Amino acid sequence: MKEDKMNDMQATPSLAGRVAIITGGGQGIGRVFAKGFAAAGAKVGIVELNEEKGQSVATEVDQQSGPGTAISIQADVADPAAVEAAVAAVANKFGRLDIAINNAAIFSTLKMRGFEEIPFDEWSAVMRVNVDGVMLVSKACVPLMRAQKHGRIINISSGVVTMGRPFYLHYVTSKAAVVGMTRAMAREVGTDGITVNAILPGATFTEVERETVSAEQKSQILNMQCIKRHETPEDLLASALYLASDGGGFVTGQSIAIDGGTTFR
C-alpha cells in the first residue's frame, strides 16, 4: 500500500503551494501547461499578448481547479516594462513566484522561405519575442526566486535546433539561442537554489492553425519519428511538471528533447 502511494506521488509531482508564471499561456502548449500546473496544485499567472485568449484560459483554469487559481495579464514579453509589471502582478496576487515557463514565441504565423528572403523586420520580431522575451522574463523572476532560495525556470526551445531545419532560419536561430541561454543562466543561478532547463518539443500539433504545413509535410514528420503519431502539448506536460517539482531539483542546464524519437542527442 505504501509502495503504491509512493508510485502515485512520483507519477504526478505535487506543486502545491507553488506559483507559476506561463508566457504565451492563452493557447497551444501554454494553455495545456496552465491547466496541467493548476491540476498539480500550483497557482498560475498567464502572461499573454492576446488579452481575450489569456482571460479565456484563466477562466478555464478556475473552472477546473477552483476560483482564484489563475490570473491573466496582457503583456508583450519583448517589452521590459510590461514584463516587470506582469511578474510583479503575479507575485503580488499569490504572494510568491516559484516557476517561470518561457513559452511565448513567434512561429505559427511564419512562412517557410529561404533565409535570404526573410524580411529583416520579421527576423527582428522573432528575435525580440523568442530570445529577448526569455531573457526579460527570467531577469524579472530571478530576484524573487533568489530571495526565497528556490526557483524553476523552464524554457521552451525546439527540436529544430538539433535538426537544422531549413526555411525557418530566424526561428531555428532563436531557439538555438534559448538553449545557450539556458546553459549559461543555469551556471549563474544554481547557488541560489534555482534550476534552468529547456524542453525541445518536436512538431507539436495544437488548436493553433498553421496554414504553411501541408498534409505531405505532416506525413514526413511522422515518418521521421520512432513513435508514429502526432505530438500534442500533453506529451510535454509530464516532463515540465517534473522539472518544476522538488523531484527535479538536481537537474539543471539540460535540454530535453521530447519529439517521439525524431532526434537523438
User: Which of the residues are catalytic?
Assistant: 171
- Radius of gyration (Cα) for the chain, nearest Å? 18
Q: Decide: 47 and 21 in contact? Cβ < 8 Å.
A: yes
Show the cell assigned to 169. 532560419
The strand pairing partners of 204, in sequence order, are: 231
- Find out whether 156 and 199 touch, Cβ atoms under 8 Å: yes
Q: Which three cell numbers stand for residue 75?
A: 503583456
| C-alpha 134, offset from chain centre | 10
